[in-house]
Amino acid sequence: MRSAVMAKLRFILGDHLSRNLASLRDIDKDHDIVLMAEVGGESTIVGFHKQKLVLIYSAMRHFAEALRAEGITVDYVSLDCPNNTQSLDGELKRALNRHDVEAVVVTEPGAWRVRALMDKWEQVLGVPVEIREDERFICSHERFSAWAKGRKSLRMEFFYREMRRETGLLMTDSGPEGGQWNLDAENRSPLPPGHRAPERLRFSPDAETRRVIGLVRERFPDNFGEIEPFSWAVTRHDALRALDHFIAVALPGFGTYQDAMKSGEPFLHHGLLSAYLNIGLLGAAEVCAAAQRAYYAGDAPLNAAEGFIRQVLGWREYVRGIYWWKMPDYAQTNFLGAQRDLPWFYWSGETDMNCMANAIDDTRRHAYAHHIQRLMVTGNFALLAGIEPRQIEAWYLAVYIDAFDWVELPNVHGMVMFADGGLLASKPYAASGAYINRMSDYCAGCRYSPKVKDSENACPITLLYWNFLIENRRVLQANPRMAMAYRNLDRMDASAVQGMQQRATRFLDGINAGVTTTNPPLQGELDL
């Protein structure tokens, strides 16, 4: 006999670990059931970094316990459950067979591919499925579409100003705090000699996390990256501690040195908060508010608070808007026609280019590299070398602890690879070795020199930069922001340019020479 009050099944995904989640907002603790499932099918789409898997599984388990502590019934399916189908569809179907419910309630996922699955659930499963908007973000889909509609170009700066006005963050009655919307010009300094990065708060794994580490080590032995030491927060309590620590210790120098890089210093002044934001342990509004409070309290300069808020309120919300507004066709574009395979050293780290070796080693050890390493080192090389967008996108999605489809794809496809032809970024973020030399200490320990162009010791990044301009001149020379680069190219001696092209071609032809191992195959499908 059916009960008078029918239960709902609340299906919570691994990156939806927020008590403020829309699908948990009106939960009936006496009747509703929360379903959570560790599914191997999602975990093997691109062979995620071991630490990324540990973070998600451990945070899921801790979140489930927090819900149970509230008196909420949680049906939790672990990865090693004997009957686990290892798919979202399969675990939802099994749960519906276990529980007498009238409907399924979910929050919109962060991947178009998963949203397409959800849209079929009601018909396939024969039960009402309510898909609620993900309200963890400041800008809704409708708000972004209203802003974007009719615009010839979608520049983040103008979107960011709208968000500042609407939220009131760093705003006065007369306009932006300090009289300027964007203080990025103050945020491009290399580290001065002797500068010491702040000691960052890291977390020791508890017993449950240790169990997850063992499980991931057993189930995913060949995945990229080192599994230990694992030192990420896996609970909201510790994520809040990480936020407080960043605000107090690292935010004051974040603005000035956010573009700097240094060997052996993977974290510097960066937030280390994006993974917690992207799985739900922190909220976008609360981290922006914390940075604003630090500025008004005199604990952080304006360029630091504004620079941090711009990354969250501006860039993070902007790329999500682009993703949902333009998918699924967005992922298929390849404006520059890049087709080269991803070099094996992206996985092995075995390269004489010290900048690449450092960034990849940081990634291997921590599942993390900061945004300039991603954009101007590993990303810059992929752009200059003409790597096929889907291959480098799969790499970023696999190796970074904070990478989820909605944020990874626009960042890599649009900003790193310029594959969208300028929808997201106004020009390719291409740079020679001189930029890396200016912003880091990498070149000092490298066999190559960014200061020479006509020898075998010439920096491959520099050679590839000029080769990139030459090969893509037809589609890029009309871009006003590329005019200076092409003027500099045209001033060069023709024979010197030819020599650089030849050395660049030899380098590209040899990047996988002698490598017998192919790139790790995608174990799932990225097709949308």
pLDDT tens series, the chain, 528 aa: 445 678 999 999 999 999 999 999 999 999 999 999 999 988 777 899 999 999 999 999 999 999 999 999 999 999 999 999 999 999 999 999 999 999 999 999 999 999 999 999 999 999 999 999 999 999 999 999 999 998 877 899 999 999 999 999 999 999 999 999 999 999 999 999 999 999 999 999 999 999 999 999 999 999 999 999 999 999 999 999 999 999 999 999 999 999 999 999 999 999 999 999 999 999 999 999 999 999 999 999 999 999 999 999 999 999 999 999 999 999 999 999 999 999 999 999 999 999 999 999 999 999 999 999 999 999 999 999 999 999 999 999 999 999 999 999 999 999 999 999 999 999 999 999 999 999 999 999 899 999 887 788 999 999 999 999 999 999 999 999 999 999 999 999 999 999 999 999 999 999 877 555 544 544 333 333
Q: Supply φ then ψ for residue 28, to 5 degrees.
A: -95, 105
Q: How much is the mean pLDDT over the chain?
A: 94
Distances in Å between the alpha carbon of 82 and those of 11, 42, 78, 85?
20, 17, 9, 9
**pLDDT the model gives residue 521:** 44
Sheet holding 7-11, edge to edge: 73-77, 33-37, 7-11, 101-107, 129-132
Q: Supply φ then ψ for residue 433, to 5 degrees.
A: -65, -20
Please say whether the beta carbons of 12 and 34 come within 8 A. Answer: yes
Distance CA 140, CA 325 (A): 11
* Other beta carbons within 10 Å of 32: 21
Distances in Å between the alpha carbon of 231 and those of 52, 135, 238?
11, 29, 11
The pLDDT tens digits for 407-438 are: 999 999 999 999 999 999 999 999 999 999 99
Distance CA 11, CA 235 (A): 19
Distance CA 43, CA 35 (A): 18
CA dihedral 143→147→150→151, nearest 10 degrees, is: -150
Q: What is the distance, to the nearest Å, from the Cα of residue 242 to the centroid of all Cα atoms in its chain?
A: 18
Radius of gyration, CA atoms only, the chain: 24
Prediction pTM value: 0.95
Reference 376, options 430, 438, 310; nearest CA is 430
